[in-house]
Structure 1
């Protein structure tokens, strides 16, 4: 269950990691502009366009998962994700077919974005519904373990490649290899998911014929909690894409560090995050999700700009300290996602509500982060824009994090009516308040 759920997340973030690490080479291959900044803007613009269709994927796959089951949809999404990512490695370049090259790149990214729109909501929902109530934080953290594994693998693959072949060779053809690696990874994930049974929570509804008949309409009854989720995800995505996906480009293109250093430092921080994410998830099972979330949120508000200033000194130790602090704040958020957000919604619309709210927020603030920060730096000539952007996201997210209900220990089992956004049974109240 854990490996199958996390595998899709690993492939998704392997793709984003490779795309971020090889952004300059992708720009050279698909965009003819001689200005390096414009090539980066074009490359990150394609990434941002792919995020525009993620809410559409959420609106299609979320209700489908609430009607026919989580497992069937997860098999479909991992197949589409893997094929569309691998297809990028086969595309002809601008030098070969001209303007059709970026068009085909955009089409591949659109398919990837559409399938990803149903992937994370389904995986998080499935993980939450299968995990023991009192260990949901611990098991849920492994979903983001997949995120970090995917990014680390993508980053190491791109960085190692730069050690073995010249930059000219990477620009010419070697950039394709990491994308092609998505195909065997997807085959492994498909094998694991095809062997899964559906979650016991969904099966209970199906046995009693209480699955939602019109999940999209019923989902909209929970718009208040969807808005809270979107505010949470705003900070999550700005930090996620700022610290993990954009950082290699920031260190290399903005701070002018070597490609090797720019690639390895974020990977080292992510390896450290891997070591602590499960213990942090387990801690939230004992102390609750909200104390952890508020600690992270306030940390981003107070420390983002100072840490980016520290990295701006270009001192290696200072850069490591700045990245480590930002990585620690981020990993607290990551450890809480799968245990906190699915529990906000009843089973009948859990997949739909999570997928729609998550992907609308991700579309607006996730994939656009590298593009927006690159444009802000170009417009203001200030290297602190990444820090200020994360600070602003933290200030916005603080309100929903204060309002979000505590979900630690709450049971997701049982048949819950579509009109109720949160169970209030004595068991749920006791288990949420009792240390485990």
Structure 2
């Protein structure tokens, strides 16, 4: 086997070595993404501990803002660790990233709450999220490249698909740990301190990951480049100046990372928030459903990766993007109807209309400035859809065309009175436990979302590895991937939550995913190489068919 850029010949790893590479890289990826996702899985409790506010919607948005901050620093981590990975090696770079992630995650579990140390608490948590984002910016590129550079070209999509499945595995592991902790720790104790246990568990996962990764050797491609003196002196600069790389980075950013990341976070995080938020499903039941769907969906990524070795990397991504545009809203409409059928029926039979001058809702305000805005805030926190009517006169509320008298100046009792008025019109605010058949339907729809994610993600590690020259591969693929995943995907819960809060429509946040996906589809169709899988060839700055470099 030769390197993908035509450098010195290298020995092919044995089957045993490749199995160890896949197992260690995948386990490390699961643990590292577990560390990152546990924050989102426990969003409500983290909000109460570190971002307390009189506005429940604002409290949750602040949690998602902290979630987004970690993602916002992923590109910086990609630049830093991409530089180290291309200069010093793949193995030791992602040893550093997993260590940094484990320590930062455990730190969140040790920070005193805002009730004890005030504003210092959220500041420390945001600082730890930044460290997590930096670490994650170096993790994916390292793990994906490490596996890809060990894999035979004709099996590269299959072998690297385990890295994609491991990202879902991190989400699944976070839910398993949370469910286990909820089972073993009484509910009041879990809300008070037990939620910290999943964060502290990351130290044990870190020890296992380090033990496995220390058993690995350096990537054979990097070893060959280093022995031939062909490593890059400045991978970041060369990534921006290498012939044709700007175009490839643009395609990787919007046509690959942008496409995969918005459907991934919509499928798993938006789906989780949607079911236990506006649809009011029982939290433990929601987590169990997401666990089942996640476990099933992990296999889809491996199937798609293997399929891409036969049909190429472009076809699955294009199919997945088109299917997402067609199916996204119907899937969520279906989940809404199955999880809380009474809510949709109540909204149809007893629509809510709020009227009044200056009637708008600011989700980031701790208290709304107008009485009409306070009504909208109450409806949003209750998960009730509404429309804004006549923009003149005093604030007023109508349910099923009947006026409702409320003491709008009574901040303490207004929401309770509003809830009573809605319940009198048929709205049910109890936690929902749908019948078994409905639960099966919800799992099936979540699995469809998982398949859409797998189509756009399953072949990506192989695709990005093949798009860029080996000497700057770590930097060139990590930077666009983490800009796309960090900003387009990481801000999805925050942006979608803001849209839902501003419109009063539980489904309106999906438009963010739809628009990003539509633009990404155009870029992917234009820029991703078609045909069979292709290796990058340093000699002409383009790609050559895998068969030309296969053993």
TM-score interval, smaller chain: over 0.9
Question: Where does residue 452 of structure 2 map in the other structure?
Answer: 329
Question: 37, 61, 75: which one pairs with 2:57?
Answer: 37
Quick check: 1:249–1:262 contact (8 Å CA) kept in 2?
no
RMSD, matched Cα: 1.8
Question: 480, 484, 487: which one pairs with 1:364?
Answer: 487
> Cα gap change, 1:152/1:301 in structure 2, threshold over 3 Å: closer, same or farther?
same
Question: 50, 59, 65: which one pairs with 2:79?
Answer: 59
Quick check: 1:17–1:245 contact (8 Å CA) kept in 2?
no
* TM-score of the superposed pair, with normalisation by structure 2: 0.74
- Cα deviation, 1:154-174, whole Å, max 9, x if unaligned, reads 112112333343443222101
The answer to whether the aligner puts 1:298 opposite 2:416 as a matched pair is: no
For the pair shown, which has the larger CA radius of gyration, 1 or 2?
2
Quick check: 2:318–2:456 contact (8 Å CA) kept in 1?
no
Question: Where does residue 534 of structure 2 map in the other structure?
Answer: 410
1:429 Cα deviation from its structure 2 partner: 6.4
* CA–CA separation in structure 2 for the residues paired with 1:338 and 1:200: 17
Question: Where does residue 213 of structure 1 map in the other structure?
Answer: 233
Question: Where does residue 186 of structure 1 map in the other structure?
Answer: 206
> Cα gap change, 1:208/1:143 in structure 2, threshold over 3 Å: closer, same or farther?
same
Question: Where does residue 10 of structure 1 map in the other structure?
Answer: 30
> Cα gap change, 1:273/1:388 in structure 2, threshold over 3 Å: closer, same or farther?
same
* CA–CA separation in structure 2 for the residues paired with 1:216 and 1:59: 7
- Cα deviation, 1:177-201, whole Å, max 9, x if unaligned, reads 1111111111111112222111111
* TM-score of the superposed pair, with normalisation by structure 1: 0.93
- Cα deviation, 1:296-333, whole Å, max 9, x if unaligned, reads 01011111011111112144354333312111111222
Structure 1 unaligned segments of length 5 or more: list them.
none
* CA–CA separation in structure 2 for the residues paired with 1:258 and 1:229: 39
Quick check: 1:46–1:109 contact (8 Å CA) kept in 2?
yes
- Cα deviation, 1:324-356, whole Å, max 9, x if unaligned, reads 211111122221111111110000110001111
Question: Where does residue 546 of structure 2 map in the other structure?
Answer: 428
* CA–CA separation in structure 1 for the residues paired with 2:177 and 2:487: 29
* CA–CA separation in structure 2 for the residues paired with 1:428 and 1:135: 10
- Cα deviation, 1:136-165, whole Å, max 9, x if unaligned, reads 111011112221221111112112333343
Quick check: 1:136–1:285 contact (8 Å CA) kept in 2?
yes
Quick check: 1:53–1:113 contact (8 Å CA) kept in 2?
yes
Task: Answer 1 or 2: which has greater helix percent.
Answer: 1
Which residues of 2 match residues 382-393 of structure 1 at below 5 A? 382-393=505-516
* CA–CA separation in structure 1 for the residues paired with 2:205 and 2:167: 14
* CA–CA separation in structure 2 for the residues paired with 1:260 and 1:386: 24
Structure 2 unaligned segments of length 5 or more: list them.
1-20, 340-437
- Cα deviation, 1:202-239, whole Å, max 9, x if unaligned, reads 11111110111121111003111011011111121111
Question: 309, 333, 355: which one pairs with 1:285?
Answer: 309
1:431 Cα deviation from its structure 2 partner: 7.8
1:50 Cα deviation from its structure 2 partner: 1.4
Question: Where does residue 230 of structure 1 map in the other structure?
Answer: 253
